[in-house]
Amino acid sequence: MATEQTEAGLTQNGFIPKGKEEASEEASPQGMSTEEMDEVYSLVFSRFEGGMEEVQQLVEQDVNSIKDFKEKQLPFDPDEKALTELDKLMGEEEDNRLPFASSVPGGSLTGKLKDDTKGTLGSYPWENPAIYDTPTDAFAYLLDSLEGKQEDIQSLLYAGVPTESIARAVTFLGFTEGLFSVDISELLVIPLMFNMVADAQEQGVEASIFNDVDDDEVNMQSVLDTMEELKPDQYKSIMDDATMKAEEENMIMEEIEQDPLMGSFLSMGEE
């Protein structure tokens, strides 16, 4: 879920304290990247008065709205006769393409495009060094580029287009134009989504967040797995209690097996 992904990046915004291990890793490239994303998340979530709690409430409301909508939809029942007629109209054309007529994978990287500072370039923008190589610079560019399109974005949000759809379209376009890498493109989807939600709130527009949600409900195993990772002490306490209860039940069952009349109405009458 999105809340889990956002919480993973929040260590400098006051909502989730930074651990000692994370602080020691800041000197590494991975730590620097995490710090960059912390700044991006901090910038976005600081726009919400209720902070992370307000964001979580908005996420829960949006998820419940999507589930309610899906439950009210009528089941899809295709007309087999109509599908058969459609197949006849489309026909079954044979694939006459030559097996080796397509491009060789990686062929676009062997071009003769030259640049005095960057060297040999690929044929497509995304095959060249990105213009913005950090999440903070890339996010700042996206905010600036969308500044003059707020009216159009608000119109889409008012019409019910989810922020996820717009954010994914914007970040993917930036990747295809060679502005930033595909990794940064994916990392910036969530903060850009909620930045649009904050913009919508300022304009009095109730924005949808997600395109869709999984049909699988949260089960006990997923909760325990998350607790084991985030709250190991509480997880150990719960598992210890469960183990103790299981041992007690096993002991009772062993006693019953040894004395079948134990705990029965006959034994109660003898007492």
Q: Note the pTM of the prediction, 2 decimals.
A: 0.61
Phi first, then psi: give them for residue 217, nearest 5 degrees: -80, 155
**Residue 37 forms part of a structural domain:** no
**Residue 246 forms part of a structural domain:** yes
pLDDT at residue 199 greater than cutoff 50 = yes
**Residue 6 forms part of a structural domain:** no
What range defines the domain where residue 254 resides? 220-259
pLDDT at residue 264 greater than cutoff 60 = no
**Residue 57 forms part of a structural domain:** no
**Residue 247 forms part of a structural domain:** yes
What total of structural domains would you count in the chain?
Answer: 1
Per residue in 24-62, pLDDT (tens digit) is 444 455 566 788 888 999 999 999 998 888 999 999 999
**Residue 8 forms part of a structural domain:** no
The residue-averaged pLDDT of 91-120 equals: 66
Distance in angstroms (rounded) separating the CA atoms of residues 263 and 258: 12
pLDDT at residue 100 greater than cutoff 50 = yes
pLDDT of residue 20: 39
The residue-averaged pLDDT of 163-184 equals: 95
Mean pLDDT of the chain: 76
Q: Helices marked H in the chain — which ranges?
A: 2-9, 20-24, 29-45, 51-72, 80-90, 135-146, 150-158, 163-176, 182-187, 189-202, 220-230, 232-258, 265-270
Find the range with the poorest average confidence among 51-65, 142-156, 214-228: 214-228
The residue-averaged pLDDT of 166-192 equals: 95
